[in-house]
Every structure is written in C-alpha cells, then in structure tokens.
Structure 1
Amino acid sequence: MIFDKLKKFDIVFDSPEMDCPPVFSSGDVVSGKVVLDLSTESKVESLKLHAEGFAKVHWTESRSAGSSTAYTQNYSDEVEYLNRREVLLQADNGELTVLPAGRHEYPFSFQLPEETLVTSFEGKHGSIRYWVKVKLHRPWATVKKIKKEFTVIEPIDINTPSLLASQAGSKEKMARIWYRNCGQVSITAKIDRKGYTPGEVIPVFAEFDNSTSRSVMPKAFITQTQTFIARGTMKQKRAVVATLSGDIVGAHRRETWHGRAIKIPPVGPSILQCRIIKVEYMLRVCVDVPGTSKLSLELPLVMGTIPLHPFGSRTSSFSSQYSANMEWLRMAIPEQPEPPPDYSSVVTEEEAVQNSTTGQPEEDLSGVLQRSLMAYVQEFRFRPPPVYCEVDPNPQPINMRPRCMTY
C-alpha cells in the first residue's frame, strides 16, 4: 500500500546543541529540514509548510435563566502572531515528482516578525503556541500531516530604569475584636528593584509595628496571577509560588527585617503585552492578626529573562545567551521546607469579598511550572550577581548580621 512507502516523516529544527531544542525570539530566523524516508520509489504532488503562532483563550460558565432553566455561556478569543507559508516541493508544470527510495531532506527557513512576539505559554484557560505544520500530498492517498511546536521567549531585560527602580509602600490597620479596638498594626516594606529573574533572591526590608495587645505573625509571599480575557470578561487563576515566614512580633513590639531573603523558583517570565493573556507577579507582605483579618501590602514584580548586569551591558546576541550555559537546564526546583499555601489563605477578607462579588473566585494554580517552558527560561540566566545583602534566612543577633554590599 502507499502508506508502506513512507518509513519516516519528520520535522527537525536546526539547534546549536544536539540534545537541546532551539528557542527563538522576535526577528530570529527559524530554520530546519523536513525529512522523508521512502522504502520504494514514490510519486509526490507537493510538500508544503505552514508556520503559525496564536494566543487563544477559552472557558465556559454556567448561567441560570430561571428556577428550572440553565445554559452554558462560552467565552473565547484569539490573537494571531505568525502566519507564514512555504512550498518545499512542487513541480512547476503541475506534474508529479518521482522520488527514489531512500532519505530525502528539504530545508526550510523563515524569519519571525520583527515586532514583539509573546512568550510561549500553557494555562488552564488559554495558551500561546507556535508551530510548524507540513503537508505531504500524494496521488491516490490521503494527505499526510505532521506538526511540531517550537518555543518563543521574548526577552525582558531588567536592566532598564523602570525595572531597576525600588518598590516601597506602607499600610496600617486598626485591629478589632468583638467591635472593640485593640490597637493598630502597620507595615512598611521595600525591595531594591521591580525586575528580577527566576533563581534570584529578593532581599525584603520591612518594619512591623504591633501596637495591639496580641502577638502577630509577619509573612511574605510571591504570587502569580494568570488573567484570561475574552469578550470583555476576565477569568483569573492565582497561586503562591514562594513563601517567607518571620518571627512572632509580641504585643506593643516592633520587628525589623534587614533584607530577609525570599528565593524565586523557576517560574515563567511575566507576560504583559498580550491582549488576551497576562501573567503578573506580586510580592505580598502580610501580618496575621489573631481574631481579625490580616493586613497585607503589595509590591509589584516583573519576572525577566535577562539578569542584572551591574558591570556593563552584554555584547553578545540574545540568541546566544540562552544556549551558552546549559547548567540552568538541569537546575532543580529549590527545596522548600513546606509547600506554598493556597492563595485564598494569603488574601485579606476584604479582597476575598471583592473577588466573590466580581465572579472571579480565587483558585489554586497547581500548574505553575508547566510544559517544558521552565527549562528554557532558565537558559537565559547566567548565574546572577550577589544579592545586595547576603543574609541568612535564619535570624541572627544584630551585631552578627553581615554587612550589605554595594555595587
């Protein structure tokens, strides 16, 4: 039969490393070859390639139209980023091409759009995917199709003024127990910059002033929010990806964090330029007050792909950076003494009420490290420079704390 003649049909991307799939960004050239291996002589009409890239979202929600009537509302949208066609094999006069038995290779090459693309992403309610699809047309046979995805990671350079700016804030709250004021709790927190890369440590500088008659517990969390947008409606998934617990602050006491360290796990970069999918991060500094709702302060974060370079800018190209150091491909997820809590345990009661009224329930994000994208993200990061304060997460007496290093 005709199918028996085709022993192999494959797409192979050109890659600087044999065992490492390539990663691309806007403006890069995607190249490779289509491989045909025939057991006997075969006639071919054409061999065509189609490169595509889309961001797509989809979810359903149940609606009630009365006591006994219900229906399902569908929400979906998409954005096209890549659409390129190329003919790899086709006779000019429309006749069939006769290929002898054996291996045949057909190279292809195309350039990604110069305008900014969006990083590959896979989520519960949407995805951003790029792929190459090839169709083999032969007489008296069904069309043979093959599809292979490739990864796009758009560079986010944290060496920009907006991402190097420090982030700070303060918040206070009157603690109440049974309609009785029992004192005020306040938080003041600061981090050195807004942009970080996975694997870095964020030194958190904070002061917790407990003027109540009860002890409080300070904590810090890194949260990720995935937002899917369709037809003017949003669907969100939130998760805690890293935690930091402080020491109990007694009644009428004050506690200071001199650069307490919270490490960023290998999460995906921020996605901020897509119309229908966004991935955002936040450092949330909280105080648990027994008998009342928690006090929470948020500082925005941006997860980049190009780390801090305090001693000068890079001279090599972006494409060479992520393939130069394969050590990061094998970097394991940092060990944690306990799994991160559910996002619902981090938000304040006021935020929980607000989320419930807008029809966007807080959900635990179990797939923060999704697909193989996390391995590619780590390729961008040369070993980051020392953090501003090399501080042991375990508290030490003030006279034994290490000095901060300035650059």
Structure 2
Amino acid sequence: MGFDEFTVVIEPHQPVYFSEQVVQGYVKITAEEPVSCRAIYLTAKGTGKVSWSEKRGKSRVTYSAYEEYFRESHTIWSGADMDEEFPVGEHKFPFAFQIPKDIPSSFETYIGRVRYQVKAVADRPWHFDDSSKAIFSVNHLLDLSSDSIARLPINSEREKSIRCCCCWWGPISLTLGVERRGYVAGENILINGEIVNNSGSTIKYTEAKIVQNIRYITSSKTKTTSLTVQRVYRPQIETGSTDEWSGVSLPVPAVTASHLMHCNIIEVDYDLIFEAKLGTCRTAKIAENIIIGSVPLPGTIVAPDTSVESGGTVLASTMSQENSPRFVRSRQPAQGEHGDNPPSYSRIVMPEQYANIPPPSYESCVSSGGQWSTFDDDSDNEEVGFAPHYITYRRN
C-alpha cells in the first residue's frame, strides 16, 4: 500500500510573486496504513532551460542550455527512528522559503522556459517514489522609469514602391505616430497613422501589431522566433485612396516584461509594427522597438477595461465580413483551467517602494507553450500547458 494523498500546497497562494517575498505552504500526506518510506524531501528551485532540435543531413542535432537561479532542499520527514514506516493518519509538513533577488520572470514556450516550483519526493524502498509539485509565477519588476527610451515618442515615415508583373507601381506611404515607447500590460497604445495607396493594387488590409521576439541562446547556436501577441486591423484601401488612423487603441496583453532580465539563455524584446498588406509577399511596413514593463511611468494613465480581447485579433473599424483578413486568435485559458478567477487587486502585494502605483491585478500569459517533449530530466515534462501569470493594470 502507498500514500492515499501526497500533495504540495502553496498557501496562502499568490498568483504572482516578486523577489524577496516568502512562499509558504505545506505538504499534505494521508495514509490509512503504515507506508514503507526512508525519508521525504522538499526542494524549491528556479531554473531556466532551452532545447530544440534541427535536421542535419540524415540525423538530428539537439541544442540545449540550462541554468539555475536558486535551489533550497530540506528533509521534512525521516524514517530513521521509525523503522522506515510512515505513520497512519493525516499529516501536514509546513515549509517557507524566500525568493532571492535578481532572478528572471517566469516564462514558457515550447523551446525555452523559466520555471519556479516546489517539489516533494518520498523515498520508498522497493517502490516507485511518490512525488508532488506546485508551480508558481515570479515577476521581475521592470520599472519603465529606469529605461531612458520609455518616454521617447515614435514618429516614423516609410515609402515603398510595389513591383507587380515586372513593373514598378507608385509608392505606398506610411506614417506612424505614437506618444511613447514604454507601456505596461493593460494599457492601450494609441496609434496615429496614415496610409496613402498610390500603387496599382488594392491594399487588402492594414494592421498595427505587437510582436514578441525571442532569442534562445546555447553555447553553440542561437535561435530566434517571433510571435504576434496583439493586433488590430483596418479594411482594404483602394488604389489612389488614403486611410487615417486617429487614436486607435492597441491593448498591451499579459506578457513577460522586455529583456527577461537576469536570464542568460533567453532574451525577449518587442516591436510595434504598422503594416499594409497587398498579398502574401507584398507588404509595406514600419517597425519600431517598444518597451513593455511591469511598473508604469509616473503620470501615465492606465487604460480602463475595454471589450478588446487580449492576445487576439481586433477590428479597428467597421468592415464587411467578406473583406476581413483571416487570423487565428491566441488561445485564452478557459475558466478554471489555470486556477481561479483573478482576485481583487488587494491580493497582489507589490514591494513597498511601489506602494503609490495603481494596484495591479494579474492575467495568464497570452502566448504560453507547454509542449516539453525534449525535456525529460527531473520529470519536469510531466507538467504541460502551464501558463505563467503576469501583473496587469486595469481600471474598473
């Protein structure tokens, strides 16, 4: 016979933790009969992993990297004085540990991740070890005030001639204006722009989007991927016509802050792209770097809740269905899939130096991966589909 219950519980549970905060809880173990057991160990740790494979000739080559941010291990029960038998009954073994300073935010894709967890393992002779773990989200606070470019405006122009059937048509002109480059999740980027279509083709649609660029780093190779995490679009523009964008809202979704600071194997940055699409291979665009932080700039106004779905595709003005471009929405976690509904703001306990900022809530990451077939160490691949939580700011 084995344990009837063997569970790690984080309590009180916070959806988001920060550096130097304490994570506490207990391991709940229930046994209706004595269970042979040498000891029960508890380990809290934070790790970063990167792994992908590529085809090279007739074989495949795997590139990987690993780093550890902290590890704390304890023996919470020993069977040395009990004939290596865990006693009958319900037992709770409390734990508490402090998150260290200068560690990266939680992050998950199918190629790389930063993950924090508490795991308990029962060492059982002549049996498979029992184990349980609880994963929690950590946010490194990127204060936009610390970045010198966060307040800088974006004012950019681009003109591109279009080639069709070996002939060059007139140009498409784009103008983009944005108040600043620094934002936090929950704010709206207000897009002001103009598209002048002097080409000989109809522009199918125009869009403004936030693109997350991720660089995975190993000792022998790096890999870069890009993912659109939010977009708004406008209808087609006939040749010789102009379309003006005036204060169109592009919501910033729940994503990790720029840079993924204190992680040496994954880098993250964001671009704001303003683009006119004529076809699969014909585009004209402006791309500008933006900063997504976790502490807003002083004096900035956090956007109220809107009907815009975070991480989705949103029509920025009325248009007929037949002219709508086809996009796939980013998957949103179903209610209860990754825990309870967002709590009241008061449950997010920010560090004391940020007591004067608007109280944040949290949301699940809009772009989490969770397919970890390349990771098989420490049984971490048993937990798939975990979505980190990130603080976000919304007014009622």
1:300 offset after TM fit, Å?
A: 1.7
The residue identity in structure 1 corresponding to 2:110 is: K
- Match of residue 157, structure 2, among 170, 175, 178: 170
- Match of residue 105, structure 1, among 64, 84, 92: 92
The residue identity in structure 1 corresponding to 2:387 is: L
1:203 offset after TM fit, Å?
A: 0.8
Partner of 1:63: 56
1:277 offset after TM fit, Å?
A: 2.1
Partner of 2:65: 77
Tell me, yes or no, if structure 1 residue 193 matches structure 2 residue 192.
no
Give the % identical residues: 25
Tell me, yes or no, if structure 1 residue 373 matches structure 2 residue 377.
no
- Match of residue 300, structure 1, among 289, 292, 300: 289
C-alpha distance in structure 1 between counterparts of 2:76 and 2:69, whole Å: 22
Partner of 2:6: 9
Q: What is the DSSP-based 3-state SS (H/G/I as helix, E as strand, rest coil) of the residue aligned with 1:383?
A: coil
| Paired residues of 1:167 and 1:194 also in contact (CA < 8 A) | yes
1:247 offset after TM fit, Å?
A: 5.2
The residue identity in structure 1 corresponding to 2:44 is: A
| Paired residues of 2:193 and 2:246 also in contact (CA < 8 A) | yes
Partner of 2:246: 258
The CA deviation string for residues 197-230 of structure 1, in whole angstroms up to 9 with x for no partner, is: 3343221111334444555453322223333222
C-alpha distance in structure 2 between counterparts of 1:58 and 1:197, whole Å: 29
C-alpha distance in structure 2 between counterparts of 1:256 and 1:332, whole Å: 24
Tell me, yes or no, if structure 1 residue 383 matches structure 2 residue 394.
yes
- Match of residue 207, structure 2, among 215, 219, 222: 219
Partner of 1:241: 229
The CA deviation string for residues 78-103 of structure 1, in whole angstroms up to 9 with x for no partner, is: 12112211222348xx5447765322
The residue identity in structure 2 corresponding to 1:126 is: G
Structure-to-structure mapping, 1:140-179, within 5 angstroms: 143-160=129-146, 161-179=148-166
The CA deviation string for residues 162-198 of structure 1, in whole angstroms up to 9 with x for no partner, is: 3232233222223334444432332221212223233
In terms of fraction of residues, the more helix-rich structure is: 1
Q: What is the DSSP-based 3-state SS (H/G/I as helix, E as strand, rest coil) of the residue aligned with 2:392?
A: coil
1:118 offset after TM fit, Å?
A: 1.8
C-alpha distance in structure 1 between counterparts of 2:36 and 2:101, whole Å: 38
C-alpha distance in structure 1 between counterparts of 2:73 and 2:280, whole Å: 63
Partner of 1:31: 24
C-alpha distance in structure 2 between counterparts of 1:112 and 1:152, whole Å: 9
Pick which of 50-59 and 212-221 moved more: 212-221
C-alpha distance in structure 2 between counterparts of 1:100 and 1:60, whole Å: 47
The residue identity in structure 2 corresponding to 1:9 is: F
Structure-to-structure mapping, 1:252-401, within 5 angstroms: 252=240, 254-273=242-261, 274-289=263-278, 293-307=282-296, 309-310=298-299, 336=314, 341=327, 368-370=367-369, 371=385, 373=387, 376-377=389-390, 380-384=391-395
Distance 1:8 1:237, change over 3 A: same
Distance 1:147 1:272, change over 3 A: closer
Partner of 1:350: none
| Paired residues of 1:268 and 1:373 also in contact (CA < 8 A) | no
The residue identity in structure 1 corresponding to 2:151 is: L
C-alpha distance in structure 2 between counterparts of 1:119 and 1:296, whole Å: 31
Q: What is the DSSP-based 3-state SS (H/G/I as helix, E as strand, rest coil) of the residue aligned with 1:153?
A: coil
Larger radius of gyration between Structure 1 and Structure 2: 1
| Paired residues of 1:43 and 1:96 also in contact (CA < 8 A) | no
Partner of 1:231: 219
Structure 2: segments with no counterpart, 5+ residues: 316-323, 330-365, 370-384
Distance 1:136 1:245, change over 3 A: closer
RMSD over equivalenced CA pairs, Å: 3.7
TM-score of the superposition, structure 2-length normalised?
Answer: 0.70
1:141 offset after TM fit, Å?
A: 5.5
| Paired residues of 1:54 and 1:79 also in contact (CA < 8 A) | yes
The residue identity in structure 1 corresponding to 2:56 is: R
Tell me, yes or no, if structure 1 residue 123 matches structure 2 residue 106.
no
Q: What is the DSSP-based 3-state SS (H/G/I as helix, E as strand, rest coil) of the residue aligned with 1:114?
A: coil
